[in-house]
Structure 1
Amino acid sequence: MEKNNIASVEVSSLSKRDTILSILIIGLLFFIFGFVSWVNAILIPYFKIACELNNFQSYLVAFAFYISYFVMSVPSSYLLKSVGFKKGMMIGFWTMAIGAFIFVPAAFSRTYEIFLLGLFTLGSGLAILQTAANPYITVLGPQDRAAQRISIMGICNKGAGILAPLLFAAVILKATDGELFKQLPLMDELEKNAALDELIRRVILPYSCVGAVLLGLGLFVRFSPLPEINTEHESEDLALANSGKSSIFQFPHLILGALGIFLHVGTQVIAIDTIIGYAGSMNIHLLEAKVFPSYTLFVTICGYLLGIATIPRFISQANALRICTFLGAIFTLLIIYAEGKVDFLGHTTDISIWFVVLLGFANSLVWAGIWPLALDGLGRFTKVGASLMIMGLCGNAIMPLFYGYFADLFDLRTAYWVLFPCYLYLIFYAVQGHKLRNWSLKTI
Structure 2
Amino acid sequence: MQNLQKSYIGPLTVLTSLFFIWGFITCLNDILIPHLKAVFTLNYTQAMLVQFCFFAAYFVVSVPSGYLVEKIGYKGGIVAGLSVAGCGCLLFYPAAGFHSYPLFLTAFFVLASGITLLQVAANPYVTALGAAETASSRLTLTQAFNALGTTLAPFFGALLILSTAVKTADEIKLLNSEELSLYQATQAATVQNPYLFLAAVLFLMAAVFAVLKLPKINSEVVSIESSPGNGGKSAWQYPHLVLGALAIFLYVGGEVAIGSFMVNFLGEPHIAALAEQDAGKYVSFYWGGAMIGRFVGAAVMQKLSPATVLTFNSLCAVLLVILAMSNNGELAMWSLLAVGLCNSIMFPTIFSLAISGLGMHTSQGSGILCAAIVGGAIVPVLQGAIADQLGIQQALFVPVLCYSYIAFYGWRFKRLAAHR
TM-score (norm. length: structure 2): 0.86
**C-alpha distance in 1, partners of 2:318/2:409?**
14
What secondary structure is seen at the aligned counterpart in 2 of 1:291? helix
**C-alpha distance in 1, partners of 2:308/2:5?**
29
Match in the other structure for 1:296: 286
**C-alpha distance in 2, partners of 1:362/1:32?**
24
Q: Does 1:204 align with 2:165?
A: no
Deviation sequence 1:205-252 (CA, Å, 0-9, x none): 2212211221232343453535526674335x425443324x333344
Match in the other structure for 1:78: 67
Match in the other structure for 1:250: 237
- The answer (yes or no) to whether the contact 1:373–1:434 under 8 Å persists in 2 is no
Match in the other structure for 2:268: 281
Q: Does 1:214 align with 2:202?
A: yes
Q: Does 1:43 align with 2:32?
A: yes
Equivalent pairs, count: 410
Q: Does 1:364 align with 2:344?
A: yes
**C-alpha distance in 1, partners of 2:410/2:127?**
18
Tell me how far 1:355 sits from its aligned partner.
1.0
| Match 1:90 to one of 79, 96, 106 | 79
**C-alpha distance in 2, partners of 1:435/1:98?**
48
What secondary structure is seen at the aligned counterpart in 1 of 2:214? coil
- The answer (yes or no) to whether the contact 1:238–1:379 under 8 Å persists in 2 is yes
Q: Does 1:391 align with 2:371?
A: yes
Closer/same/farther in 2, CA of residues 104 and 77 from structure 1, 3 Å limit:
same
**C-alpha distance in 2, partners of 1:133/1:432?**
33
Match in the other structure for 1:9: none
- The answer (yes or no) to whether the contact 1:92–1:129 under 8 Å persists in 2 is yes
- The answer (yes or no) to whether the contact 1:25–1:226 under 8 Å persists in 2 is no
- The answer (yes or no) to whether the contact 2:158–2:281 under 8 Å persists in 1 is no
**C-alpha distance in 1, partners of 2:106/2:77?**
22
2:261 corresponds to which letter in structure 1?
T
| Match 1:99 to one of 57, 64, 88 | 88
**C-alpha distance in 2, partners of 1:29/1:54?**
34
Identity %: 30
TM-score (norm. length: structure 1): 0.82
Deviation sequence 1:1-23 (CA, Å, 0-9, x none): xxxxxxxxxxxxxx876888776
Closer/same/farther in 2, CA of residues 44 and 266 from structure 1, 3 Å limit:
same
1:209 corresponds to which letter in structure 2?
F
| Match 2:299 to one of 309, 324, 333 | 309
| Match 1:321 to one of 294, 310, 316 | 310
Closer/same/farther in 2, CA of residues 361 and 227 from structure 1, 3 Å limit:
farther
**C-alpha distance in 1, partners of 2:317/2:86?**
35
Tell me how far 1:166 sits from its aligned partner.
2.1
| Match 1:52 to one of 21, 41, 54 | 41
Q: Does 1:427 align with 2:407?
A: yes
| Match 1:374 to one of 354, 358, 368 | 354
**C-alpha distance in 2, partners of 1:160/1:304?**
14
Match in the other structure for 1:263: 250
2:93 corresponds to which letter in structure 1?
V
| Match 2:333 to one of 346, 353, 366 | 353
Match in the other structure for 2:161: 172
Match in the other structure for 1:238: 226
**C-alpha distance in 2, partners of 1:415/1:403?**
6
What secondary structure is seen at the aligned counterpart in 2 of 1:238? coil
Q: After the TM superposition, which of the residue ranges 72-81 and 29-38 deviates more from structure 2? A: 72-81
Tell me how far 1:88 sits from its aligned partner.
1.8
**C-alpha distance in 1, partners of 2:6/2:352?**
23
1:294 corresponds to which letter in structure 2?
S
Deviation sequence 1:50-100 (CA, Å, 0-9, x none): 222122111111111111111111222222333332222222211111111
Tell me how far 1:193 sits from its aligned partner.
5.8
- The answer (yes or no) to whether the contact 1:151–1:308 under 8 Å persists in 2 is no
Give ranges in structure 1 of 5+ residues lacking alignment. 1-14, 341-348
**C-alpha distance in 2, partners of 1:94/1:303?**
33
Tell me how far 1:150 sits from its aligned partner.
5.8
**C-alpha distance in 1, partners of 2:222/2:375?**
30
Deviation sequence 1:121-145 (CA, Å, 0-9, x none): 01111122223455776899679x9
Tell me how far 1:256 sits from its aligned partner.
2.6
Match in the other structure for 2:23: 34
Closer/same/farther in 2, CA of residues 179 and 164 from structure 1, 3 Å limit:
closer
- The answer (yes or no) to whether the contact 1:253–1:434 under 8 Å persists in 2 is no
What is the alpha-carbon root mean square deviation over aligned residues? 3.2
Give ranges in structure 2 of 5+ residues lacking alignment. none
